[in-house]
Amino acid sequence: QDGKQEIFHFVGRYLSSLTKLILKLENTETTSEAECVSIVPMDNKEKWNQKSPLTVMKLRCCNSFFGAGAPEPWDYFGHLEALAIDSCDVLVHWPDKVFQSLVALRRLSIRNCKNLTGCAQAPPDPESSLHLPASATERSQHLPGLESIELINCASLIEMFNVPESLKEMHIFGCHELKSIFGKQQGMSQLVQGLSCSEVTVPTVVSELSSSSMNHFFPCLEYLQLSGCDSLSAVLDLPPSLKTISIGACRNIQVLSCQLNGLQKPQVTTSINIPEPSTAVAREHSLPPCLESLHICCFSGMFGGILHLPNSLKTLKISGSSLTSLEFLSGEHPTALESLVIDSCSTLASLPNDPQAYRSLQRLEITCCPAIKKLPTCLQQQLGSIGFYKRLDAHYEGMHVFLSLPHLTNRCSHPSYHM
C-alpha cells in the first residue's frame, strides 16, 4: 500500500505536464475509501481546474480510480482522448460520472473487468412489457465524441450503455453474458431470446421490431465485430451506415436485421437449387445497404434461413452456418463482389443466379457444401476469369477448367488448406 501511494504521488507531481499515462499495478489493491489515493493534487483545486493535458490513459488493476471512494476529479481529464481500463474488479456498473466528464474521449477500451454487469438501474423485464427503443431525445449525452469502443473478456457484462451517435467502430470479444449490443436502444434482443426461433416465429418478430424502430441510433457506425458472445440470440436494427460486419463464435445468433426505417423490402435476384416448399418458409436476414464486407463463422445449427446480400458487398466469407440460400438484392447498381468464400455450410443449397453477380469476382472458395449440387451457369462461365485464387470441391459439374490446373488441384485435396 505504501508503494502504491508513493507511485501515485510521483505521478501526481508530473501530471500537469504529461500527455500520456500508462499505470499498471499488481492485482493486490484494496478498495476501502480510506485507502483510495488520488494522483490529482487535491490540495490545489485551482491547479486541477485548469485541466490536464493528458490525452492517453491506460490503467491496469487501478481499482482506486473507480471504487466507491474514488477521489479522482475526472473533470480534470477533460482533454483525454483515449482511455483503456484493464482488470478493474470494482467496476460493477458503467461509470456514468466518469463518462459524463470525458467530453473529448474518442477511444474506449475495457477488458478483463470480470464484475462489470451494465447500467446501474435494473433492465426492464421483457416478459412484463415490450421495451421499445428510446427516442433520440432520450439518448445519453455522455462521451459525445466517442468513435471506437472495445470490450474484451468482461464475463459478467449483460448490457451496453447508451453509446453516442458519433460511434464508428464497435469491437466485442468474449462477453458471454451480453444480451444486447446496442444498449437500451436494442432491448428487443431480450424479447427474441425468450422466443422459439422457429422458421415461422422469427420473421414475424423481426418484421414487428423493424417497423417499430424508426430512428437510426448509430448514423456513423461503420465497423462491427463480435466474437464469443454466446448469449446474443439476435442482432437487430443494424444501422444502414455499416460497411464491415464480422461475427465469430457467437453460438446462438439466429437473426440479423437491418433498420429498414419504413422502406419497402427490395426484390431479390433469382437463385438455383431452391429448397423444397416445406423448408422455404425460413427466417430472412437483412443487411445494411452499404455493407462491403461480411464475415460469419458459425457453429452447426446457427444462423439459418435466407441471407439477402446488398449489391455493395465486396467480400463475403461464411463458415459453418445453417443458411439455405444466398440472394443478391436487385437494384440499379451492379454487384461489386470480389471475394466469395463458403465453407462447411451443409444446408446451403442456393447461390445467386444473376450474370452480374460474379463479374468482379477475383477469389472463389466453395468447400464442404454438399447441398450445392451444381454451380450457377453464370458462375461456371466466370471461372476462367478468376485470376487471384480458386478452390472448389471436385464434385461440382462443369469444373473441367479448374481441374485441369494441377497446382490448384493439389490444394483442393487438403480441406484444411488456407491462403
Residue 98 · residue 126 · CB < 8 Å: no
Q: Give the predicted TM-score (pTM) of the model.
A: 0.79
Q: Mean pLDDT across the stretch 66-79?
A: 78
| Closest listed residue to residue 23, CA positions, set 44, 39, 47, 40 | 39
Residue 251's pLDDT is 86
User: Where is pLDDT greater, at 362 or 191?
Assistant: 362
| Residue 223 pLDDT greater than 70, yes or no | yes
Q: DSSP string covering 78-127, please?
A: TT--EEEEES-TT--B--HHHHHH-TT--EEEEES-TT--B-SSPPP-TT
User: Where is pLDDT greater, at 265 or 381?
Assistant: 381
Taking only the tens place, the pLDDT of each residue in 271-314 is: 545 444 344 345 789 999 999 999 999 876 678 899 999 999 99
Q: Mean pLDDT across the stretch 133-148?
A: 67
Could you tell me where the beta strands, DSSP code E, fall in 166-319? 169-173, 223-227, 234-238, 244-248, 255-258, 284-285, 293-297, 304-309, 315-319
User: Where is pLDDT greater, at 221 or 33?
Assistant: 221
Q: What percent of the chain has pLDDT over 90?
A: 41
At residue 355 the predicted structure's pLDDT band, cuts being 50, 70 and 90, is confident
